[in-house]
Amino acid sequence: MRRRAALGGLLAFAGASRARATPYVAPPRPAVVSGVRVEMLLDGLAHPWAVAELPDGALIVTERLGRARVLRGGTSSEVSGLPTVLTGGQAGLLDIAIHPRFAANQWIYLTLASGDASANRTVLLRARLDGTRLVEARIVFTVSESKSGLQHFGSRLAWLPDGTLLMSIGDGGNPPVSLRGAPIREQAQNMASHLGKLLRLDEDGRPPADNPLVSAPGAAAEIWALGLRNVQGLAWDAVRGTVWCSDHGALGGDELNLVRGGANHGWPRVTHSREYSGREISSERRRNGVVDPALVWTETIAPSGLAVCSGRAFTSWRGDILAGGLVSGDIRRVTADAAGRVTGEHRIPVRARVRDVREAQDGALLVLTDEPRGRLLRLLPAD
């Protein structure tokens, strides 16, 4: 299943060698997209976090409180066999990804918070889905450091064309959360730590031999990119052959990043974000060796959920990046050229916290709203 040619330069070290481009600064209130109709597929979900589609068209939804549901033929059924999950704050049952060869192995992958409020970490679970039951479930990857608090688990997943899996890990939390006497967010620049990183794993949860830091002394072999705060949007771009991620800032400074293997995105030493108090985190906005964001939202949208439009349903949107916003309560439709330089932004109002955005097999958009009674929506062209 290894198709290395499909990844092209994605496995080459990025950093200082990448041509610099000024980030696109998003307007506070972009124009509204017209011509979209909304269907409700399911409601009454308890803070849903992720949705994935099975080859037969059935949908699986995770709920942060530790449940998952399968929607098939208009009927919703609860999934059994889930492990115990740490819940509270941002902790819980989080992302889901369907193995590319699901028809042969029935494997699904789930990320979840494990431990307790004083010592916890993100883990990756693999299980076989037998109807609505998980069997042969086991943890295939565990984040290196235990942390305190219930913040910044990251936890988005995305398959690459070569059969490897990207997994985002948050930086551990805001001050005063610390690790070994320093703010825990500094671990985003520590090559030995999984915190504040994008990881690349094989289907068994191990680091592939061609990961960018495999041969670096003292570095965690799973690292694929670093210097990230809390990535909750992650998507493979089949149009451009690259990866996008959306990263939470603190006060403003949310980012949309075009990611390549080995890239350092700067957090917390280079950032457009500020502390929640308004105080500056860093005076640096750019630095040699740090990859600039493709887009900066100076006004917080709290990005979560990301998809790249194939054009199968929304034909004129092919290659557009669709980023959900928790605080903004909308989906941002971002346009970019063939090289990934952002050229504009519009918004699709949802009027609720948007936790996930995925493209279905038919090109429709699947959207989850993060509410006590959350909804699974389907977006289609109005005509």
Q: How far apart are CA 310 and CA 314, in angstroms?
A: 8
DSSP, collapsed to helix, strand or coil, labels residue 346 as strand
152 is catalytic: yes
Q: How far apart are CA 255 and CA 245, in angstroms?
A: 8
DSSP, collapsed to helix, strand or coil, labels residue 187 as helix
Burial status of residue 320 (CB atoms within 10 A of its CB: 0-12, 13-18, 19 or more) = buried
Each residue of 199-228: b (16+ CB within 10 Å) or e?
A: bbbbbebebbeebbbeeeeebbbbbbbbbb
Burial status of residue 280 (CB atoms within 10 A of its CB: 0-12, 13-18, 19 or more) = exposed
For residues 132 and 115, is the Cβ–Cβ distance under 8 A?
Answer: no
> Which tokens hold the place of 58?
């059935």
For residues 289 and 277, is the Cβ–Cβ distance under 8 A?
Answer: no
Residue type, 243: V
> For 116, phi and psi rounded to 5 degrees?
-135, 180
Catalytic residue among 47, 152, 194, 248: 152
Q: How far apart are CA 18 and CA 25, in angstroms?
A: 20
Residue type, 83: P
Task: Quote the Cα angle for 244-127-359, to 5°.
Answer: 35
Distances 89 to 9, 118, 152, 244, 302 between C-alpha atoms, Å: 38, 13, 10, 26, 15
- The answer to whether the peptide bond before residue 83 is cis (omega within 30 degrees of 0) is no
* CB proximity list for 104: less than 8 A, separation 6 or greater: none
Partner residues linked to 39 by β-bridges: 378
Which residues form the catalytic set? 152
